[in-house]
DNA sequence: TGCCATCAT
């Protein structure tokens, strides 16, 4: 049995005071839910933000933008909108908005605030997320919404005129919508200075946000207010030497904690499903050596690919005398909070997607986490009591870690965001005041995509189709197919395919024997033309058999994903009706459907080669079919396919393929070339 | 032959 080979700052070694200052996470003791108005009031007054109330209200009068540095549990998200409401910021029909990067946060916070205010959810306090608007046009004064929804609202109301205050919460996460909305808010404030902005962020990013809002404005434009939280200290321990295998080391560390430390659950951060399963395997090999009288160990996996039930299992408290261990991806860093964690084991790595605009290729790579992430992960050990974080790397590695993760806007395909910015009248993208500017190459590539797709003309302005597509919540190439479906008379089917390609993880294929059975189930939907038609078959079967969860389970489909596809389809259907696109059925004529697919995917063509791989039409890159594809083991008769997306992991893979005839590619390829000679398309 | 970090409209 190995012992813990960790060095703990504070017990020995240099540099501990600095480490403690930056890495102690502050957290609040959750207050018990109360029913009576008086106890709610006193609970509100116990929150750390309460004693900053007057100062905050003063700053809201004086400054245009308040950067709020608030620790977890300081009460900023729930309390500040209420203070503003009580101080009259929602008078005269004005609304106080608070954005969240995630749907669940928007709904759960709105719920709690409605209780505190003493109103029915959806009246004075409401929320708006995609597919769910629990707010009232007249009554709602405090509105929680996803940042994506607020961004979308600017397409209809460019000055966001119904709001007096907009709070952008969790801004340090730097989701693409957070960045886009911040850029727009800076612009809006120049035209409508009465609008107040609150940017809530972690310490590391605060001055950056202030400098951003002050640039080109008066120095009084923005100020920083810091709130402390109620904290439990988290001690941080490092490995003395780097490890070659952090998965094995993680299992070893969990086991050592279990043998040596008192009660308390353990949360392990790894990068993906494969690692999690290997770690589970390694741990299972220790289990037989567990002494008879020792506490038991309950080990659970946590990642987004699990079913809802499997995910819920991590929240169940372990039996008495049993320690719970959760082996998780980054989902537990910010999206999922598990109470009762006392020990965190951090691999120090994360999988991150980056987009290469030159090759139009996204890659998913395992990279070291940022200091901000490492701090956030450590903090997960201190939510209910003091805790310890074991980092599976030496302390010296901190020096080479980036301070923060690069914002999403620097790492993604900007085709859709730029279409939307154009629709908002932001025509000169180089002059747009980005919080962090995306690479120029990414902007150029996005513009080129939009021109090629007929959304933007050679003059750089939106075309008639571009104006319509900007409103429509789908990718540009999918929108093109929906428009082309009129010509091919297959609107009904394209609508379903558009919805099904927009959801991920439709088929649930577990590991081992259960996975083999699931594969057999999936084959029942298989269309020989490829994955798009297979998805269509699955959707139609789901609709035919009553959209039931039990039916999904029996057929290896994700009920969550299928239900989401139903919502998306219904939403897109409204857009098609608005755009006058007919909802005709192709009546089983798969050829028409496949041709229609090419109208959107014409740049995603690939040719089969003898070794079973494909070569991309653009760039002649070697492509591997994703094992989930129905064409994984089969050569298409024509030897040609189009695909929905490609991504570089260990290999470059293509997902969701359909067999096509090569001359269909030429048809759309020619129209692209025509555009360069000045002939208008679509 | 062998599999997607997370989130969002």
Listed by start position, the domains of chain A span 37-227, 232-405, 597-676
Q: Closest nucleotide to residue A334 (Cα to C1')?
A: B6
**Nearest residue for B7, CA–C1':** A102
Q: Closest nucleotide to residue A612 (Cα to C1')?
A: B1
Q: Closest nucleotide to residue A633 (Cα to C1')?
A: B1
Nucleotides on chain B within 7 angstroms of protein Cβ: 1-9
CB A481 within 8 A of CB A532: no
Question: Confidence band (pLDDT; 50, 70, 90) for A653?
Answer: very high
The 10s digit of each residue's pLDDT in A548-557 is: 999 998 898 9
**Average confidence (pLDDT) over A637-646:** 95
The 10s digit of each residue's pLDDT in A229-261 is: 767 899 999 999 999 999 999 999 999 999 999
For the CA of A247 and the C1' of B6, the distance in angstroms is 20
Residue corresponding to tokens 């909070």: A337
Residue A667 has pLDDT above 80, yes or no: yes
**Nearest residue for B1, CA–C1':** A633
For the CA of A240 and the C1' of B8, the distance in angstroms is 40
Residue A682 has pLDDT above 50, yes or no: no
∠ CA A263-A267-A270 to the nearest 5 degrees?
Answer: 150
**Nearest residue for B6, CA–C1':** A331
The per-residue pLDDT for A25 is: 30
CATH class of domain segment(s) A232-405: alpha beta
Q: Closest nucleotide to residue A271 (Cα to C1')?
A: B5
The per-residue pLDDT for A9 is: 54
For the CA of A13 and the C1' of B5, the distance in angstroms is 34
Question: Confidence band (pLDDT; 50, 70, 90) for A281?
Answer: very high
Q: Closest nucleotide to residue A416 (Cα to C1')?
A: B9
Residue A681 has pLDDT above 60, yes or no: no
Whether A37-227 shares its CATH topology with A232-405 is answered yes
Return mean pLDDT, chain A. Answer: 89
Q: Closest nucleotide to residue A516 (Cα to C1')?
A: B2
Residue A295 has pLDDT above 50, yes or no: yes
Percent of chain A with pLDDT over 90: 78
Burial of residue A307 (CB within 10 Å: 0-12, 13-18, 19+) is middle
**Nearest residue for B9, CA–C1':** A473
For the CA of A293 and the C1' of B6, the distance in angstroms is 40
Q: Closest nucleotide to residue A149 (Cα to C1')?
A: B9
Q: Closest nucleotide to residue A153 (Cα to C1')?
A: B9
For the CA of A21 and the C1' of B4, the distance in angstroms is 36
For the CA of A202 and the C1' of B5, the distance in angstroms is 22
DSSP string, A211-273: HHHHTTS-GGGEEEEEE------EEEEEESS--S-HHHHHHHHHHHHHHHS-S-EEEEE-SSH
**Average confidence (pLDDT) over A659-668:** 90
For the CA of A238 and the C1' of B4, the distance in angstroms is 30
3-class DSSP assignment, residue A300: strand
CB A87 within 8 A of CB A162: no
**Nearest residue for B5, CA–C1':** A351
Query: Of A381, A375, A306, nearest to A340 (Cα)?
Result: A381
Residue A196 has pLDDT above 50, yes or no: yes
For the CA of A335 and the C1' of B7, the distance in angstroms is 9
The per-residue pLDDT for A518 is: 81
Q: Closest nucleotide to residue A176 (Cα to C1')?
A: B8
Residue corresponding to tokens 């007929």: A454
**Average confidence (pLDDT) over A611-636:** 92
The per-residue pLDDT for A8 is: 57
CB A198 within 8 A of CB A66: yes
Residue A177 has pLDDT above 60, yes or no: yes
CATH code of domain A37-227: 3.40.50.300
Q: Closest nucleotide to residue A420 (Cα to C1')?
A: B9
The per-residue pLDDT for A18 is: 25
For the CA of A328 and the C1' of B2, the distance in angstroms is 22
C-alpha A553/C-alpha A340 separation (Å) is 31
Positive or negative, the CA dihedral A127, A133, A135, A137 is: positive
Q: Record the tokens describing residue A660, joined without a space.
A: 């096509």
The per-residue pLDDT for A180 is: 96
Question: Confidence band (pLDDT; 50, 70, 90) for A668?
Answer: confident
For the CA of A671 and the C1' of B4, the distance in angstroms is 34
Residue A290 has pLDDT above 70, yes or no: yes
Q: Closest nucleotide to residue A333 (Cα to C1')?
A: B6
The per-residue pLDDT for A73 is: 78
For the CA of A481 and the C1' of B1, the distance in angstroms is 32
Question: Confidence band (pLDDT; 50, 70, 90) for A204?
Answer: confident
Higher per-residue pLDDT: A497 or A205: A497
For the CA of A551 and the C1' of B3, the distance in angstroms is 25
The per-residue pLDDT for A36 is: 52
Question: Confidence band (pLDDT; 50, 70, 90) for A427?
Answer: confident
Residue A106 has pLDDT above 70, yes or no: yes
Phi, psi of A574 (to 5 degrees): -60, -40
Question: Confidence band (pLDDT; 50, 70, 90) for A673?
Answer: very low
Of A176-185, A225-234, A350-359, A472-481, the poorest mean pLDDT is in A225-234
For the CA of A100 and the C1' of B1, the distance in angstroms is 43
For the CA of A236 and the C1' of B7, the distance in angstroms is 29
The per-residue pLDDT for A669 is: 67
**Nearest residue for B3, CA–C1':** A627
Question: Confidence band (pLDDT; 50, 70, 90) for A315?
Answer: very high
C-alpha A479/C-alpha A289 separation (Å) is 58
Q: Enumerate residues 6+ apart whose C-beta is below 8 A from A191.
A: A159
Per DSSP, helices labelled H in A401-457 are 415-423, 440-452
């Amino acid at each position: 049995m190995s012992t813990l080979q960790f060095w703990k700052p504070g017990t020995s070694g240099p540099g501990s005071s600095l480490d403690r200052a930056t890495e102690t996470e502050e957290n609040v003791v959750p207050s018990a839910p109360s029913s009576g108005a008086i106890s709610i009031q006193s609970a509100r007054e116990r929150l750390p933000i309460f004693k900053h109330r007057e100062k905050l209200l003063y700053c809201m009068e004086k400054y245009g933008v308040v950067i709020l540095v608030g620790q977890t549990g300081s009460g900023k998200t729930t309390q500040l909108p209420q203070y503003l409401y009580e101080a009259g910021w929602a008078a005269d029909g004005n609304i106080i908005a608070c954005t969240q990067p995630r749907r669940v946060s928007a709904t759960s916070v709105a719920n709690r605030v409605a209780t505190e205010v003493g109103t029915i959810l959806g009246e004075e306090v409401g929320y708006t997320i995609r597919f769910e608007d629990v707010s009232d046009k007249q009554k709602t004064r405090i509105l929680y919404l996803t940042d994506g929804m607020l961004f979308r609202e600017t397409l209809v109301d460019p000055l966001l005129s119904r709001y007096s205050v907009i709070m952008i919460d969790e801004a340090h996460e730097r989701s693409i919508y957070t960045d886009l909305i911040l850029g727009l808010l800076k612009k809006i404030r120049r035209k409508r200075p009465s609008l107040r902005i609150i940017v809530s962020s972690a310490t590391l990013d605060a001055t950056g946000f202030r400098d951003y809002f002050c640039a080109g404005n008066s120095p009084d434009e923005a100020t920083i207010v810091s709130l402390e939280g109620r904290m439990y200290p988290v001690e941080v321990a490092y490995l003395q030497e780097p490890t070659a295998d952090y998965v094995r080391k993680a299992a070893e560390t969990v086991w050592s904690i279990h043998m040596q430390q008192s009660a308390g659950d353990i949360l392990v951060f790894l990068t993906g499903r494969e690692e999690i399963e290997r770690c589970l395997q390694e741990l299972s090999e220790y289990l037989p050596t567990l002494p008879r009288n020792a506490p038991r160990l309950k080990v659970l996996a946590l990642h987004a690919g699990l079913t809802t039930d499997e995910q819920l299992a991590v929240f169940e408290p372990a039996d008495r005398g049993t320690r719970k261990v959760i082996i998780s991806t980054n989902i537990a860093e910010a999206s999922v909070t598990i109470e009762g964690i006392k020990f965190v084991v951090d691999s120090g790595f994360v999988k991150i997607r980056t987009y290469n605009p030159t090759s139009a290729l996204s890659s998913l790579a395992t990279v070291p986490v940022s200091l901000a992430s490492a701090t956030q992960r450590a903090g997960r050990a201190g939510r209910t009591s003091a805790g310890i974080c074991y980092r599976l790397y030496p302390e010296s590695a901190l020096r080479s870690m980036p301070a923060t993760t690069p914002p999403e806007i620097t790492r993604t395909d900007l085709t859709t965001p730029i279409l939307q910015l154009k629709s908002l009248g932001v025509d000169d993208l180089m002059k747009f005041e980005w919080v962090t500017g995306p690479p120029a190459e990414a902007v150029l590539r996005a513009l080129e995509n939009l021109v090629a797709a007929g959304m933007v003309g050679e003059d750089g302005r939106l075309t008639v189709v571009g104006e319509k597509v900007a409103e429509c919540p789908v990718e540009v190439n999918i929108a093109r197919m929906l428009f082309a479906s009129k010509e091919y008379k297959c609107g009904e089917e394209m609508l379903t395919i558009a919805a099904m390609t927009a959801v991920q993880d439709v088929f649930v294929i577990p590991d081992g024997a259960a996975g083999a059975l699931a594969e057999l189930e999936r084959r029942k939907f298989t269309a020989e033309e490829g994955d798009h038609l297979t998805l269509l078959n699955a959707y139609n079967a789901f609709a035919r058999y009553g959209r039931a969860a039990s039916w999904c389970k029996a057929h290896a489909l994700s009920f969550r994903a299928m239900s989401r596809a139903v919502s998306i389809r219904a939403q897109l259907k409204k857009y098609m009706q608005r755009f006058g696109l007919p909802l005709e059925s192709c009546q089983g004529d798969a050829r028409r459907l496949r041709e229609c697919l090419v109208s959107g995917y014409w740049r995603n063509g690939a040719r089969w080669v003898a070794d079973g791989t494909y070569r991309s039409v653009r760039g002649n890159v070697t492509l591997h079919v994703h094992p989930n594809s129905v064409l994984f083991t089969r050569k298409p008769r024509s030897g040609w396919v189009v695909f929905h997306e490609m991504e570089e992991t260990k290999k470059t893979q293509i997902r969701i393929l359909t067999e096509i005839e090569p001359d269909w590619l030429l048809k759309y390829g020619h129209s692209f070339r025509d555009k360069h000679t000045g002939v208008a398309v679509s």
